[in-house]
Amino acid sequence: MGNYQMTDTDNILEIDTIEVVYDSVIAALHDVSLSVPRGKIVALLGGNGAGKSTTLKAVSTMLAGERGKVTQGSITYDGIPVTNQDPADMVGLGLVQVLEGRRCFGHLTVEENIISGAYSRRLGKAQIRDELDKIYGYFKRLKDRRKSQAGFTSGGEQQMVAVARAMMAKPRMLLLDEPSMGLAPQLVAEIFNIVNELNQKEGVSILLAEQNTNVALRNADYGYIIETGHVMLHGSAESLLADEKVKELYLGISREGRKNFRDVLRRESTRHAGIHH
Amino acid sequence: MTEFLFFIEVVVAGLLAGTMYSLVALGFVLIYKASSTFNFAQGAMVFFAVLSFVGFMEWGLPFVVAFLVTIALMALVGLATERLVLKPLRNQSEDTLLMATIGLGFVLEGLAQAAWGVEVRRLDLGIGDFPIQWIIDSTGLFISALDLTAGLVAATLIIALALLFKYTRMGLGLRAVADDPGAASSIGIPLGSIMLMVWTAAGIVALVAGMMWGARAGVQFALVDLALKALPVLIIGGFSSIPGAIIGGLIIGATEKVLEVYIGPFFGGAIEGWAPYVLAIFFLLWRPEGLFGEKIIRRV
Ligand SMILES: Nc1ncnc2c1ncn2[C@@H]1O[C@H](COP(=O)(O)OP(=O)(O)O)[C@@H](O)[C@H]1O
Ligand SMILES: [Mg+2]
């Protein structure tokens, strides 16, 4: 009982029952709560439109740029309440979001893209070189492509550029939004290997939004499943991978095809009800 | 032979005048890159900047001091524009921003006239609008000292800006914002300070162009329209291309001079006023994205 604060401060990120509204009317999140323990990888899973990106943008404060607002609840990053900060403030505090869809600077070279990630750090030329070498150590493929215009590199390389660029800001926490989107399985594996390496060697905590439940859970410590702005289920990655409901819905091991999580839960409860009567 | 020499003279004078269009067009391109908006206030900025400069000179400030004070003033205009106009309108449509720049133009024109009066001022830079003797002696060409100075000053400024954007941290920030403001903001590039830099650069460009033009024709309201000749320049060169602004300016400068001299008399002169727009319309029909309009890179 004496260490009641310990569990709290071990979380680098805590989201407490937030509601998010776009354009002052459209509610995208209703009561999302989740936490990311320091140094861990947490997966945020759900289909299209579930609210994954909205959750990440609430944390990085990128929401304001899309006329979205956290109207209820609170977000705490590294003990600091996230309220009036802007994205540059959050980057300064060591939290960087990698946006969905890669979003490289197409006319800049791969290397200029990566260097741009250090914008807020005001490094000297030599320091930039050191940091670049370190980054290329993780993203070996990018070293060969460093002089290429980013817009003309492959989808996988662009995704790596986006992550490398974020790492150049020296984050303590990364928010990754669907890094596997539109990529071949082999590249997805390559990217997740790098993400894991960054997590282990650099100690970056990661909140990972994914539709690719299987890959995400295999690379995460913990998972949350959200649907229409509600957290439906959460647990350790192993427990979710083994969960019958998750298997049926998200891992493609289903007898009757995909359906909505709510339906499965409802069927579960009626089944239980049937047993009791 | 003298016919040919005369033609060369006309072209050179046109190219030198064209560098000034290039410079002003560059001011537009910077703002267009940073905020995807055609800055209709650029003409008013030229007028406001040079009128203020002449005003400070009339107060008795030395040339260099007046120049620096005016640059500071233009930075202040940039700051106010960013804080009071652009920031509140961020995430609004490009049309809204366009309207805002038109409004800003009226405000600057009004402010300039309220502060400094409406009469035409003379601006003497100490450089005559006369042919330079040694050029006549060595090549037989009659090139005006003022044209040559304006051309060199514009070229220097253009090169300096281009280097700034290619090789400095702020320049990298601007190019990142130009490609994807959302992604730029996600890695901590502050849009506000990029905008401030761009507007200050556009203010300096406006001041220099206003001084060169004002030295020839007097500091007057007509400078606003002169600066809007950057529009045909941009149609020719492409709105977001720095090389395009430079080449476009040279094309407009040379063409309008040649037309003015050889065809002008048949139209009773003053062809310079509209010839660039006609040229721009031909370009619009032939190559709507402009000579250097960048091919849009598709995201894979
Ligand atoms: N900028 C926006 N304006 C209005 N509604 C939005 C906006 N972005 C997302 N939404 C809505 O919020 C909900 C959640 O979207 P999102 O967070 O993007 O889901 P996900 O990332 O899980 O696919 C969806 O219903 C979507 O239509
Ligand atoms: Mg999304």
Q: Which of A60, A116, A183 to mutate against chain B (most B CBs within 10 Å)?
A: A116
Residue type, B214: G
What pLDDT is attached to residue A42? 98
How many residues in chain B? 300
- A165 shares contact with chain B (CB less than 8 Å): yes
Q: Whose CA is nearest to atom 21 of ligand 1?
A: A53
Tell me B119's DSSP state.
Answer: S
Arithmetic mean of pLDDT, B261-283: 79
β-bridge partners, A51: none
How high is the pLDDT of residue A275?
44
| Low-confidence winner among A245-259, B151-165, B166-180, B230-244 (lowest mean pLDDT) | A245-259
Tell me the average pLDDT across B243-250: 89
Best substitution site from A20, A34, A54, A210 to test ligand 1's pocket, by max atoms within 8 Å of Cβ? A54
CA nearest to A166 within chain B: B187
Give the tens place of pLDDT for each residue, B203-226.
999 999 999 888 888 888 888 888
Maximum mean pLDDT: which of A56-70, B5-19, B238-252 = A56-70
Residue nearest to atom 4 of ligand 1 (CA): A22
Measure in Å the smallest separation between the Cα of B190 and chain A Cα atoms: 6
Which of A29-43, B75-89, B227-241, B257-271 is the most confident on average? Answer: A29-43
Q: Is A165 in the pocket of ligand 1 (CB under 6 A)?
A: no
Cross-chain Cβ contact A116/B188 below 8 Å: no
pLDDT band of B5, cuts 50, 70, 90: confident
Looking at A41-50, B47-56, B121-130, which range is the least confident one?
Answer: B121-130
* Mean pLDDT value across chain B: 86
Could you read off the pLDDT of A120-151 as tens digits, one per residue?
Answer: 998 999 999 999 999 999 999 999 999 999 99
A54 lines ligand 1 (CB under 6 A): yes
| pLDDT at residue A16, rounded to an integer | 96
Residue A24 has phi, psi (to 5 degrees) of: 65, 0
Nearest CB among B90, B172, B299 relative to A112 is that of: B172
User: Which residue of chain B is at minimal alpha-carbon distance from A153?
Assistant: B300
Mean pLDDT computed over every residue of chain A: 90
- Sign of torsion over alpha carbons A171, A172, A177, A182: positive
Closest by Cα among B102, B37, B103, B111 to B74: B111
**Contact at 8 Å (CB) between B40 and B97?**
no
User: What domains does chain A contain, in order, with CATH numbers?
Assistant: 11-94+171-271 (3.40.50.300)
Q: For testing the chain B interface, which of A85, A100, A105 should be mutated: the one with the most B CBs within 10 Å? A: A105
Query: Residues of B numbered 166-185 whose beta carbons fall under 8 angstroms of chain A's beta carbons: which are they?
Result: 169, 172-173, 175-176, 178-180, 182-185
**Residues in chain A, overall count:** 277
SS3 per residue for chain A: CCCCCHHHHCEEEEEEEEEEEECCCEEEEEEEEEEEECCCEEEEECCCCCCHHHHHHHHHCHHHHHCEEEEEEEEEECCEECCCCCHHHHHHCCEEEECCCCCCCCCCEHHHHHHHCCHHHCCCHHHHHHHHHHHHHHCHHHHHCCCCEHHHCCHHHHHHHHHHHHHCCCCCEEEEECCCCCCCHHHHHHHHHHHHHHHHHCCCEEEEEECCHHHHHHHCCEEEEEECCEEEEEEEHHHHHHCHHHHHHHCCCCCCCCCCHHHHHHHHHHHHHHHHC
Candidate from A222-236, A260-274, B8-22 with smallest mean pLDDT: A260-274
- Say how far residue A224 (Cα) sits from the centre of its chain: 11
CB contact A203 to B (< 8 Å): no
A127 touches chain B (CB under 8 A): no
Give the minimum alpha-carbon distance from A55 to chain B in angstroms, rounded to a whole number.
15
Residue A116 is nearest to which of B91, B176, B298, comparing CB atoms?
B176
Q: Can you tell me the mean pLDDT for A239-263?
A: 71
Please state at what angle helix B230-237 crosses helix B275-286, rounded to 10 degrees: 20
- Residue with the smallest CA separation from ligand 1 atom 27 is A49
Residues 6 or more apart whose Cβ sits within 8 Å of residue A83? none
Name which residue sits closest to atom 14 of ligand 1, judged by CA. Answer: A51
Judged against a pLDDT cut of 50, whether residue B101 lies above it is answered with yes
DSSP state of B87: T
Q: Could you tell me which residue, B224 or A106, shows the higher pLDDT?
A: A106
Lowest-confidence segment of A211-220, B68-77, B135-144 by average pLDDT: B135-144
Q: Is the Cβ pair A99, B297 closer than 8 Å?
A: no
Residue A274's pLDDT is what? 44
Determine how many CB atoms are found less than 10 A away from the CB of residue B287.
Answer: 14
Across the range A77-94, mean pLDDT stands at 95
Q: How many CB atoms lie within 10 A of CB A124?
A: 8
* Residue B295 near chain A (CB below 8 Å): no
Cβ of A88 and B188 within 8 Å?
yes
Distance between CA atoms of A161 and A59, rounded to whole angstroms? Answer: 22
Interface of A with B in 41-60 (CB under 8 A): 60
**3-state DSSP helix/strand/coil percent for chain B, to nearest 5?**
75, 0, 25
Position B247 pLDDT exceeds 70: yes
A51 CA → ligand 1 middle, Å: 6
Given a cut of 70, whether residue A7 has pLDDT beyond it is no
What is residue B220's predicted lDDT score, i.e. its pLDDT? 85
Give the Cα separation of A212 and A5 in Å (integer): 34
Out of A44, A53, A208, give the residue to mutate to test ligand 1, the one with the largest number of ligand atoms within 8 Å of its CB: A53
Q: Is the model's pLDDT at B90 over the cut of 80?
A: no
- Which residues on A lie below 8 Å from B186 (Cβ)? 60, 62, 87, 91, 96-99, 103, 166
From the CB of A101, is ligand 1 less than 6 Å away? no
Domain boundaries along the sequence of chain B: 2-220
Q: Which ligand is nearest to the CA of A177?
A: 2
Q: Per-residue pLDDT averaged across A7-18, rounded? A: 85
pLDDT attached to residue B138:
79
- Nearest residue on chain B to A171, alpha-carbon basis: B187
ipTM value for the complex: 0.86
Question: Could you tell me which of A99, A67, A95 has the C-alpha nearest to residue A80?
Answer: A95
Chain A to chain B Cβ contacts (< 8 Å): 98
CA distance, residue A112 to nearest chain B CA (Å): 8
pLDDT one-digit tens code per residue, B48-73: 999 999 999 999 999 999 999 999 99
pLDDT at A14: 97
Average of per-residue pLDDT across B28-33? 87
- Cα of A47 vs centre of ligand 2, distance in Å, is 9
Q: What is the pLDDT of residue A245?
A: 84
A106 — contact with chain B (CB < 8 Å)?
Answer: yes
Compute, in angstroms, the gap from residue A213 CA to the centroid of ligand 1.
19
Mean pLDDT computed over B161-179: 92
Q: For residue A253, is pLDDT > 90? A: no
Q: Which residue of B has its CA nearest to A182?
A: B300
Q: B70 or B35, which is more confident?
A: B70
